[in-house]
Amino acid sequence: MSRVSGAVLESPVRMQAAEQQIAIAARNVVKSFTTRGKESVILDGVTIDVAEGEFLTIVGPSGCGKTTLLQLFAGLQPVTSGSIEVDGKAIQGPPSGIVYVFQQYGKSVFPWRTVLGNVVFGLERKKGMSKAERHAIGREMLELVGLAGYEDHYPSQLSGGMQQRLAIARALAPQPRVLLMDEPFSALDALTRAKLQQLVLDIWQKLGITVIFVTHDIEEALLLSTRVIALHKSPANIDIDLADDFAHPRNLISLGEDPDYLAMRRTLLSSIYRQEGLVYEDGRGR
């Protein structure tokens, strides 16, 4: 377990990365936007390796560039400078094997398709796969996320939590190598959120895929991850990089009593609070 000894921690996960296969490699990534002739730098020199099978969570102040970084990983936006590589090849657009789950359900599902129709959508262009094979995979994914029996329903007939389960099933159907999740539970009630957190953990452990997850919730980050990075406020770079290797199964009740968890939570919150000018640590502002 990494111990909290300073603002930037060396993650055992990162130190082991050289011995593991790297899913995504970002090198000195800069992302800027120009509006009315004025350039705004969002990300400024981000360098990071994401190891195969890692569950990496990105946290940081609002507007610091978390979602922008995730979209760069997905190939939804180009980098301004630097590079992001998958298997040693620079991302030029959405790469195969990487799937993005949006925060808003409407961006991840088609309202005019049935639940099963949504899940098999990403399989319909696979050559040599029959309809029966697609539907078999779709039903398997629905079983995995707890939606068996809802194949013929439409998204509008599902609760918010069920729609997000559907979005996850649809993302998993093509058997992605990397799953990108942008605050997928932020609009859900606490109990539904807890259930979906456990679902994602179970899926990650069962399938062994790489997950990169964005959240504002420090407790959620520490519950889910093998590694957490916190970004500086824009222009963003990495402020904190720490391993999160608590034993599984995990839950917030038991974690909340662990001194290491409390120290890690304090470090991450302190980084965010300090940048927002809020009171932190010993009760005094900085």
Ranges of each domain in the chain = 12-23+32-39+50-108+176-219+233-279
pLDDT at 94: 87
Taking residue 266's Cβ as centre, other Cβ atoms within 10 Å add up to 14
Instruction: Kindly indicate the confidence band of residue 43, based on its pLDDT and cuts at 50, 70 and 90.
Output: very high
Give tens-digit pLDDT for 170-182. 999 999 999 999 9
- Strand-pairing partners, residue 29, are 46
Instruction: Take residue 19 and report the two structure tokens written for it.
Output: 């011995």
Give the pLDDT confidence score for residue 33 in this predicted structure.
87
Reported confidence tier of residue 44, pLDDT bands at 50, 70, 90: very high
If one looks up domain 12-23+32-39+50-108+176-219+233-279 in CATH, what number appears?
3.40.50.300
pTM (whole model) above 0.95: no
Q: CB atoms < 10 A from the CB of 7, how many?
A: 12
Per-residue H/E/C for 92-131: CCCCCCEEEECCCHHHCCCCCCCHHHHHHHHHCCCCCCCH
User: Which of 6-15, 72-81, 84-93 has the highest mean predicted lDDT (pLDDT)?
Assistant: 72-81
Q: What is the DSSP string of 41-103?
A: EEEEEEEEEEETT-EEEEE-STTSSHHHHHHHHTTSS--SEEEEEETTEE--SS-TTEEEE-S
Q: What angle separates helix 131-144 from helix 160-172, to the nearest 10 degrees?
A: 130
pLDDT interval class at 279 (50, 70, 90)? low
pLDDT above 60 for 283: no
Residue 99: pLDDT over 80 = yes
Percentage of residues of the chain with pLDDT beyond 90: 59
Please state whether beta strands 55-59 and 210-214 pair in parallel, antiparallel, or not at all (unpaired).
parallel
Residue 103 predicted with pLDDT over 90: no
* Paired residues of 242 in beta bridges: 228
